[in-house]
Structure 1
Amino acid sequence: MSTPSPAPGAPAPGGPAAVALTGVEAGRALRWRAVLGSSSGPVLLLLSFGVGNRWLGLLAALVLAATAVAVCTLPRVASLAVSVRVPARTRAGEHVEHVVDVVNHGSRPCPPTVVHLAGDGFADVHATLPAVPAGQAVRLVLPRRALRRCVSTGPLVRVEGADALGLLTTHRAALVPALVHVHPAPAAAPALPPPPVAGTDDVAGVRPWRRGDRLSAVHWRASARRGGAGQPGGGLVVVEREAEPAGPLVLVLGAGAGADPGADPQADPEAWEQLLAAAATLVLREGAAGRRVGVLADDPLREGAGAARVVEGAAALDALAAAGDPRPLGQRAAVARRLAGRGGRVLVGTPPSAWREAP
């Protein structure tokens, strides 16, 4: 993996707060060679006093000096604080730049270390962190690939370092908040049922009959007054009604009505992910065409069976990113019909990628 070039500087004003590397994981580790070397120093020193060999005493002094150098040059990673900035939204499969700012709050410079980012729905990455002077910051830009649809709360940042001689190692880690909604990757546009015939009961007027008009729309009494088709101004006329105002298209996702309540919701996760990807495609396609489209999502401010709301645009894609296991539809289609209002259309999607018009 290529290591991005660091850019020194302080974190941007108004950015996320830096998190100290003290909470999740901390410790020091001794390498076996270092253990043998450091323990052999006192042994050689005692042995040199016993046998009166100056060379053994000199060797013991060198071993003890190497141990002291290792302890003194061990990076003080506990004095580092890390913040991560990412875009608020992305799609599964895309690469996202994670801007990592590392601040040294200690009184001594921190030598070069290694930074690991993992555990948040993105690909694990590691990079070399250059020396961080005391009281200053270093910035790394790490591209990471979104592996799956999710709501990522932030990576586990782990910093590892070793002393100048490579005898001792130390590490610290912390969960750094960096909220990202990873939307489903768009898929092929699903086949939808034909929309219902729109129209209201309000009569706008009458017009001459045209090929393709339904017989039920013919105004027989007005047609009889106009006379036959061969007479001037004669012929059939049809009733034209006021166009119904276009409402939003509301998508309701869940388990089918015939699903076994005791079935494992994880039985076919791939079919559920395909349905979410199809819903994301509908949101993007209809939105690009200038039509309103939303997703029925839980309302966090309300409780009960009807605690739902319709979210549109980017918020609809966020709801798809946060979707959990498929739940039984229950009364959710009826709630969506009520929220869609007059002229709205409700489509119910169930795995595997089946769409139907809500009654």
Structure 2
Amino acid sequence: MRPTAFGAKAIGFCGLLVAAFFVSPYSNLFFLQIAFLGALLGAGVVGCALNVARLTGRVHEPRPFAAGSVDAVLDGELAGTRRTTHAVRIELVLAKGVRAVLCDAVEVPPATIVRVRGGLPPLPRGIHPIRAARAISTSPFGLFRAARALVAPPALVVFPAPIDLPGLRTAGGLAAVAASFGESPLVPGDDVVASLREWRDGDSPRSVHWRATARRGQPIVKERDGSSGDCVVVVLDRRGDATRVERALGEAATLALAARDRAEPIELISQDTHLRFGEGGAPIDELLRWLAGASVLPSDAAPPPVGPPRALHLPRRTRAATPARALTEVQALPEARA
């Protein structure tokens, strides 16, 4: 507990009255003022401490959200005690002194759970550790500030701001992006089954092996090889110019969000990384977390694995001029000089 700015002024004024009490002949008047302010400060300390005593709560972990987003929200809850808790606000402290207020002046009735929701300021790409989460109150008089620690997630995941890809506006799904890129990132599989396993939550009905399910009397799904199946494969090269790499990360985030919305698998290949997400792999949110923490590598770093022939390469490759076009340009040079 510590005094607020208003409380610090009140304490300073009380100190001036104490000094005036000893140097002024009007000691009775100053004594009454000192007694009144002392009682007010004491009641403020006790009331503020009791207001948040035994108050508990938590801040729920949000899904990854885009960098610079103004729509990101956090959900939390406060559990009331035996008495009403007045004027409570929830404050998050992030790295580099960034603060976010989820709610302000919330009243928590006795033995009641109050759910709150608040917005977050726009944040850059990255994984932002949460230094502290507190329930703060200055009730009853605004002279002192008491805080209670809340349970909070370890960090906020902010993935790159998505970049619009025209191919995603069509009904072709991720395959339509290939046409807009001039590539064919879909790796057609031959439905090769690596193994069979029991059904798990989140498995696609398309993966059910019906014959094995009928024999065993319980749902059995096909476990495919990570490189098989109709899966978009993205080879992400993080070397070189930071602007190009950041744009490539944004395009990869767009593909990841589309894969999550359409329940399509996606495979990522990058330096020291080769993972499958979606059906048969890790959740798509893990891909967004990886994109949030991905770093730009120097130009002399090792290149990523080549990947399959039809992989989608990011940053986008610049197309070289065809031999016929180059020959035409060379033949046109003497005519231009003439």
- Tell me the CA shift for residue 276 of structure 1: 0.8
Query: Which residue in the other structure is 1:275 paired with?
Result: 248
Among 291, 296, 300, the alignment partner of 1:320 is 291
Q: Deviations over 1:125-158 (max 9, x none)?
A: 3532333356544321113355333345547434
**Alpha-carbon distance change, 165 to 178 in structure 1, aligned in 2, over 3 angstroms:** same
- Match of 2:152, as an amino acid? V
- Identity of paired residues, percent? 20
User: 1:289 and 1:171 mapped to 2: Cα distance?
Assistant: 44
Asked if the contact 2:14–2:34 (Cα under 8 Å) also holds between the matched residues in 1, the reply is no
User: 1:59 and 1:44 mapped to 2: Cα distance?
Assistant: 11
Asked if the contact 1:349–1:355 (Cα under 8 Å) also holds between the matched residues in 2, the reply is no
Query: Which residue in the other structure is 2:40 paired with?
Result: 66
> Is residue 252 from structure 1 mapped to residue 227 from structure 2 by the alignment?
no
Query: Which residue in the other structure is 1:330 paired with?
Result: 302
- Match of 1:83, as an amino acid? R
TM-score with structure 2 setting the length = 0.57
Matches within 5 A, 1:1-359: 27-29=2-4, 31-40=7-16, 42-43=18-19, 54-76=28-50, 77=52, 79-92=54-67, 93=69, 95-104=71-80, 109-119=84-94, 124-125=100-101, 127-133=103-109, 136-144=112-120, 147-152=123-128, 154=130, 156-171=132-147, 176-177=152-153, 181-189=157-165, 192-195=181-184, 248-256=231-239, 259=240, 269-283=242-256, 292-296=265-269, 308-313=273-278, 314=284, 315-326=286-297, 330=302, 332-334=304-306, 336-337=307-308, 345-350=310-315, 353-354=316-317
TM-score with structure 1 setting the length = 0.54
Q: Deviations over 1:48-76 (max 9, x none)?
A: 9xx58644443333232222222222245
Q: Which runs of 5 or more structure 2 residues have no equivalent in the other structure? A: 166-176, 189-227, 279-283, 320-338
- Tell me the CA shift for residue 101 of structure 1: 1.2
- Match of 2:310, as an amino acid? R
Asked if the contact 2:3–2:143 (Cα under 8 Å) also holds between the matched residues in 1, the reply is no
Q: Deviations over 1:79-102 (max 9, x none)?
A: 433311244243342623311212
User: 2:183 and 2:31 mapped to 1: Cα distance?
Assistant: 93
Query: Which residue in the other structure is 2:333 paired with?
Result: none
Asked if the contact 2:184–2:311 (Cα under 8 Å) also holds between the matched residues in 1, the reply is no
- Match of 2:269, as an amino acid? L
Aligned pair count reads 257
Give the match's secondary structure for 2:76: strand
**Alpha-carbon distance change, 104 to 43 in structure 1, aligned in 2, over 3 angstroms:** farther
User: 2:267 and 2:42 mapped to 1: Cα distance?
Assistant: 65
**Alpha-carbon distance change, 323 to 271 in structure 1, aligned in 2, over 3 angstroms:** same
**Alpha-carbon distance change, 274 to 128 in structure 1, aligned in 2, over 3 angstroms:** same
Q: Which has more helix, going by share of residues?
A: 2
Q: Which runs of 5 or more structure 1 residues have no equivalent in the other structure? A: 1-25, 200-244, 260-267, 299-306, 338-343
Give the match's secondary structure for 1:188: coil
Asked if the contact 2:64–2:159 (Cα under 8 Å) also holds between the matched residues in 1, the reply is yes
- Tell me the CA shift for residue 345 of structure 1: 2.8
- Tell me the CA shift for residue 270 of structure 1: 3.4
